[in-house]
Structure 1
Amino acid sequence: METATERLTERRTTAVVIDDHPAVRAGVQLWLTTATPPVQVVDSSADVREAWVGPGAHADVVILDLQLDGPPTLREVRRLARTGRRVIVYTMHASDDLALRSLELGALCYLTKAEGEKHLVDAVRAAAQGRGYTPPTMAGALAADRRSTRPALSAREYEVLVSWFQSDSKERVARRLGISVSTVNSHLERVRMKYADIGREASTKAALVARAIQDELIDVDQL
């Protein structure tokens, strides 16, 4: 049976760009539309409502600046992620706290505007397939955040977790480890529950990657 990822690769990836600087919107659109293969920018606006209505409502990826006519806000990251939208936070703020919080709320990537064209294009391609992307700034934020509390994972939970980070599907993890997909899901759910129990929720794969890097369960180079 054809998967969503396979269907996506047969057509052009689409994105909506939400940023209150026209020059940034124009630059992002140029980078994406001239990439190989190109990414179609279906809408761009300073108003986050464009991610909810018209062509932007159906874009594969939402590229969202945190600062829209005011101080940085994470409210829209949460709202979009909760409805299943694939969000890349694209911001001028090189902030460890904002990066970590964005991932916890469901963003697939936190990318600073200083990181350039290649990282943005790669992040959009990964997000379109529901995968997280770890650019240098985010990797630094995660590596610098060493929490004193970490969950006590079993050897099998650790093995499943790392295998999932290194695979593009749970089915592949199951084949690799010789277990069922339902068993993979059970292990991952227990890992999430253990993080939630110590007040460090990780509801998305990107957030779990962040937690694992924080806790030195996996190195960025292994992703």
Structure 2
Amino acid sequence: MSAVIVDDHPAIAAGIGVWCAAADPPVRVVDSGSTPAVAWTGPGGDADVVVFDLQLGGQVPAYRDLRHLVDAGRQVVVYSMRDDQETVLTCLDIGVFAYLGKTEGPRHLVPAIQAAGQNLPYTPPVMARAFGTDTRSERPRLTPREVDVLVSWFACESKEMVARKLGITVRTVNSYIDRARIRYAHAGRPAPTKAALVARAIQDGLVRLDEL
């Protein structure tokens, strides 16, 4: 499993590299840099997971760069000094795999990276707290891409067909479906099966029966 680190603090990037190398199994950090360019070019362009610092050289969160990575199908783990609910939920709405505060350290960051690389759900404490105190509507706010993948999956016989239709990998299809399941579970409306997800989507107006 490989990762690329986007962080403008060299000491933090170096520390993450040490934690990843000591993991069992280890995570190979193929590159690191202070701008998102490192995740698009060279070895970072093929990394399984992008570890992303939200504050890159300024006070404004790098939401635009984050959205570009997610829209490209990358598995992104945000690792940031910011841990307020609004920021966490905004990043999750964009479609990141997981969000961690830098106070959570290797105990949660390394498992989150490993889970992202294997498309396995992982909810670190900052993320769980943001979900638990979310007072918004019980309808999860799925990203447009998550909705596209779900609706396509409902209409197709297999995830392989969805991947071909949308021009993405099967791994990415699984990732979007898992994210949708996590959002529904944290909204108190679990959907562990395809049939349950279909039911939720119909209830929320994401798809009509005549479209299935």
Question: TM-score, length-normalised on structure 2?
Answer: 0.69
How far apart are residue 148 of structure 1 and its match? Answer: 3.6
Aligned residue in 2 for 1:150 = 139
Q: Helix, strand or coil for the counterpart of 2:130? A: helix
1:15 aligned onto 2:8: no
Amino acid at match of 2:97: L
1:1-223 aligned within 5 A: 13-70=1-58, 71-148=60-137, 150=139, 182=157, 205-213=178-186, 215-218=187-190
Amino acid at match of 2:37: R
Amino acid at match of 1:17: I
Aligned length, in residue pairs: 161
Q: In 2, are the aligned partners of 1:119 and 1:135 still within 8 Å (CA)? A: yes
Render the CA deviation track for 1:71-106: whole Å, top value 9, x for unaligned.
212112210111111100110101111111111111
**Structure 1 spans left out of the alignment, 5+ residues:** 1-12, 152-169, 171-180, 185-202, 219-223
Amino acid at match of 1:46: S
Amino acid at match of 1:216: G
Q: Helix, strand or coil for the counterpart of 2:38? A: helix
Gap change, CA 1:84 and 1:150, over 3 Å in 2? closer
How far apart are residue 109 of structure 1 and its match? Answer: 0.1
**Structure 2 spans left out of the alignment, 5+ residues:** 141-152, 160-175, 191-212
Render the CA deviation track for 1:30-84: whole Å, top value 9, x for unaligned.
0001111111000011121010000000000000001101121211221011111
Q: Helix, strand or coil for the counterpart of 1:116? A: helix
Gap change, CA 1:119 and 1:98, over 3 Å in 2? same
Root-mean-square deviation (CA, aligned residues, Å) is: 2.5
Gap change, CA 1:143 and 1:27, over 3 Å in 2? same
Question: TM-score, length-normalised on structure 1?
Answer: 0.66
Q: Distance in 1 between matches of 2:115 and 2:89?
A: 18
Q: In 1, are the aligned partners of 2:49 and 2:75 still within 8 Å (CA)? A: yes
Q: Distance in 2 between matches of 1:63 and 1:135?
A: 14
Q: In 1, are the aligned partners of 2:53 and 2:79 still within 8 Å (CA)? A: yes
Gap change, CA 1:102 and 1:211, over 3 Å in 2? farther
Q: Distance in 1 between matches of 2:137 and 2:25?
A: 43
Q: Percent identity, aligned pairs only?
A: 45
Q: Distance in 2 between matches of 1:211 and 1:78?
A: 21
Gap change, CA 1:74 and 1:211, over 3 Å in 2? farther
Q: Distance in 2 between matches of 1:76 and 1:39?
A: 24
Gap change, CA 1:211 and 1:99, over 3 Å in 2? farther
